[in-house]
Structure 1
Amino acid sequence: MFSFWKKKTPVAGKASLNWLGADMHSHLIPGIDDGAPDLEASLTLIRGLRELGYAKLYTTPHILWGMYDNTPDTILGGLETVRQALKAEGLEFEFGAAAEYFVDEHFANEVQAGKPMLTLPGNHILVEASTYAAPFDFKEVLFGLQLQNYTPIIAHPERYIYLKKDPSYLDDLRYNGCSFQLNLLALIGHYGALSKELAEHLLRNDFYDFVGTDLHHAQHLPLLEKAAASPLLDKLRDSGKIKNAGF
């Protein structure tokens, strides 16, 4: 399914994320969400991730009904456009796509109807929730996914700062088989001090299974380089718990 090229060595003097192997959260398909607006922007972002040391990418456009009404057709069609552009430029990269699903009524109905989902390797499915308040049926929807043999990955839980008031909420999700993905930029306070504090709490308590860039635009690239040099990543790298390299 994927194209294979020789991996590029990261630029000398830059912090490298090559130990992760794969990035599994980004917005690189042109013009379908709040990520890359056009094909050239897509290629610029991919080049930047390549220089940071990634061997492969799985990009995850938003599916948020009423705002980003993406479907497998729009996402996979955009994926093929980017692949053809990479091939034309001779860029050496493995590039696939899944989706970042927003858990809302539309998504709950899709799950209940058994609609096929775009997944990461191993039938993992990336999901997000409101950053303001937990959906009342969030756990029920995730359980519905698990009944269909999907493994939910909770995107950037450190951004859901309301969870600081109820830490047991995440404990329940972990106990019931959900995985958790850190946004790298949280480590340098990009989403605010409270999100950084929650990320550090989750790091200390070994919640994270995956690390993602959540790359949207070129302004994120120098910030990712800064985050790559954060000593907070040492605990994750040394824990042996992070599963990106298995994708």
Structure 2
Amino acid sequence: MFSIFKSKPVLKDLIPSGYVDIHSHLLFGIDDGAKTKDDTAHIITTMKSLGFEQAIATPHTTPLVWDNNKEAILAKHQETIEVLPELTSSVNLRVASEYMMDDSFLKRLESEALLTLKDNYVLVEMSYINPPIQLQDILFQLKSRGYEIILAHPERYNFYHKNTAMYAKLKKMGCQFQMNLLSTTGYYGGHVLEAANYLLKEDMIDFVGSDIHHDKHLKGFESKVQIKDIKNFEKAIANNQFFRE
């Protein structure tokens, strides 16, 4: 007897040819992503095999941990292009940053222009332990300075899993949501998968990102997706074409 249930697709099979990735940590030696030039080469080569056509590297800017600044990130991007010219051109490698919204972020806003994904679109994240006390003020200041806010991996913030009403509030405060591709496979655990299901069901996911750091993440693309709403997931993947250059 044939099963009435369709088998879940493998994640890599849902990545369309020409995919534009907006979140990765493939620049070597600058954060917790790629450690060496060879790591970067391996990540890019695998990205290409998965259908990635463009990639925006987004090194962390996290004070006291990866205290990168705009100049250092741009210099590392240029170095990567120089040492891997063919590979970096094969995926049209660009660069931005993933900014930690913490106590120092408002001072950074006042002192420098942020390194954006495109135009005024900036990628931000929170601590996984708790949201910043001044979150509302940070989001207001970003908007008042003309930035479009893309919140990285909202499904991974455990403190919202039992307070899903906050997702709607973040939307009202001007956040667009970028979900991690691997969240759809259960890679980060069941609670994250459950949150990803909720956000997709509510049609709150605007964009997706690989958030690739290392080979284990790359191998995660061989896993089957576990989410229920494939349609909204595919819509979010297609939305990434906005960042095509």
Report the TM-score when normalising by structure 2: 0.87
Against the structure 1 CA distance between its residues 190 and 238, is the aligned structure 2 distance closer, same or farther, given a 3 Å change threshold?
closer
Q: Which amino acid aligns with 1:115?
A: E
Q: Which residue is 1:75 aligned to?
A: 73
Against the structure 1 CA distance between its residues 65 and 100, is the aligned structure 2 distance closer, same or farther, given a 3 Å change threshold?
same
Q: CA deviation at 1:190?
A: 1.4
Against the structure 1 CA distance between its residues 231 and 169, is the aligned structure 2 distance closer, same or farther, given a 3 Å change threshold?
closer
Q: Which has the larger displacement, 213-222 or 113-122?
A: 113-122
Find the aligned partners of 1:143 and 1:208 in 2 and give their Cα distance: 21
Report the TM-score when normalising by structure 1: 0.87
Q: Which residue is 1:45 aligned to?
A: 43
Q: Given that residues 25 and 58 in structure 1 are in contact (C-alpha distance below 8 angstroms), is that contact kept between their aligned partners in structure 2?
A: yes
Write out aligned runs for 1:1-247 (5 A). Answer: 15=13, 17-18=15-16, 21-88=19-86, 92-111=90-109, 113-226=110-223, 232=228, 234-237=230-233, 239=235, 242-247=238-243
Q: CA deviation at 1:188?
A: 1.4
Find the aligned partners of 2:25 and 2:91 in 1 and give their Cα distance: 16
Unmatched segments (≥5 aa) in structure 2: 1-11
Q: CA deviation at 1:235?
A: 1.7
Q: Given that residues 18 and 55 in structure 1 are in contact (C-alpha distance below 8 angstroms), is that contact kept between their aligned partners in structure 2?
A: no
* 1:207-238 per-position Cα deviation (integer Å, ceiling 9, x unaligned): 101101100001111202325x6665722255
Q: What secondary structure, in the 3-state scheme, does the structure 2 residue paired with 1:226 have? A: coil
Q: CA deviation at 1:122?
A: 3.2
Q: Which has the larger displacement, 72-81 or 166-175?
A: 166-175
Find the aligned partners of 1:200 and 1:231 in 2 and give their Cα distance: 6
Against the structure 1 CA distance between its residues 90 and 149, is the aligned structure 2 distance closer, same or farther, given a 3 Å change threshold?
closer
Unmatched segments (≥5 aa) in structure 1: 1-13
Q: CA deviation at 1:165?
A: 2.6
Find the aligned partners of 1:234 and 1:128 in 2 and give their Cα distance: 25
Q: Which residue is 1:6 aligned to?
A: none
* 1:104-153 per-position Cα deviation (integer Å, ceiling 9, x unaligned): 11112112x15210001131111110112121111210110111111111
Find the aligned partners of 1:196 and 1:90 in 2 and give their Cα distance: 32
Number of equivalenced pairs:
232
* 1:164-207 per-position Cα deviation (integer Å, ceiling 9, x unaligned): 23222221111232100101111111111111111110110011
Find the aligned partners of 2:39 and 2:28 in 1 and give their Cα distance: 8
Percent identity over the alignment is: 34
Q: Which residue is 1:5 aligned to?
A: none
* 1:18-58 per-position Cα deviation (integer Å, ceiling 9, x unaligned): 26721001101111100000111011101111111011000
Find the aligned partners of 1:66 and 1:186 in 2 and give their Cα distance: 27
The RMSD of aligned alpha carbons is 2.1
